């Protein structure tokens, strides 16, 4: 590749558009939920994948809980409280799933509801 071609590639428009905070959150929830769904198809056979997906989901919700607990957060107080509660539930329910005492379906349903809210297709 010559210098001119390298310059064209360096200054070419980005191949992926910049994401807004909301679209980035939607993408993250979508990817995490897909991993939960895939691992849930056969949780005993895919236990390692299930634990990884649950860990990623809890990490996502822990980060979200920290965001809504911040006084600078612009969401309504009611929505912030509901999201914080869902983060706590996610942690609690994930433990039950790991112990084999619960199904992963409620976590997938919660994430799906949040994705609908982020995409403007529904509310929590």
Q: What is the pLDDT, as a whole number, of residue 46?
A: 86
As a whole number of angstroms, the distance between CA 20 and CA 39 comes to: 29
Structural contact between residues 20 and 118, judged by C-beta atoms closer than 8 angstroms: no
pLDDT band at 7 (very low <50, low <70, confident <90, very high): low
pLDDT band at 123 (very low <50, low <70, confident <90, very high): low
pLDDT in tens, 80-105: 999 999 999 999 999 999 999 999 99
Q: What is the pLDDT, as a whole number, of residue 91?
A: 97
Q: Is the pLDDT of residue 113 over 70?
A: yes
Q: Is the pLDDT of residue 6 over 70?
A: no
pLDDT in tens, 10-69: 555 555 555 557 888 999 999 999 999 999 988 778 899 999 999 999 999 999 999 999
Structural contact between residues 61 and 115, judged by C-beta atoms closer than 8 angstroms: no
Q: What is the pLDDT, as a whole number, of residue 16?
A: 52
Report angle CA 60, 122, 120 to the nearest 5 degrees: 80
In terms of pTM, does the model score above 0.85? no
Report angle CA 62, 64, 70 to the nearest 5 degrees: 105
The domain locations on the chain are: 21-119
């Amino acid at each position: 590749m010559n210098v001119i071609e390298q310059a064209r590639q360096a200054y070419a428009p980005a191949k992926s558009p910049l994401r807004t905070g909301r679209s980035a959150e939607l993408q993250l929830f979508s990817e995490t939920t897909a991993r939960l769904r895939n691992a849930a198809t056969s949780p005993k056979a895919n236990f390692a994948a299930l634990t990884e997906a649950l860990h990623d989901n809890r990490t996502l919700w822990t980060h979200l809980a920290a965001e809504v607990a911040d006084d600078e957060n612009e969401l309504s107080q009611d929505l912030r409280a509901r999201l914080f509660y869902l983060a706590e539930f996610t942690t609690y329910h994930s433990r039950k799933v790991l112990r084999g005492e619960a199904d992963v379906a409620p976590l997938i349903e919660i994430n799906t509801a949040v994705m609908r809210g982020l995409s403007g297709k529904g509310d929590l």
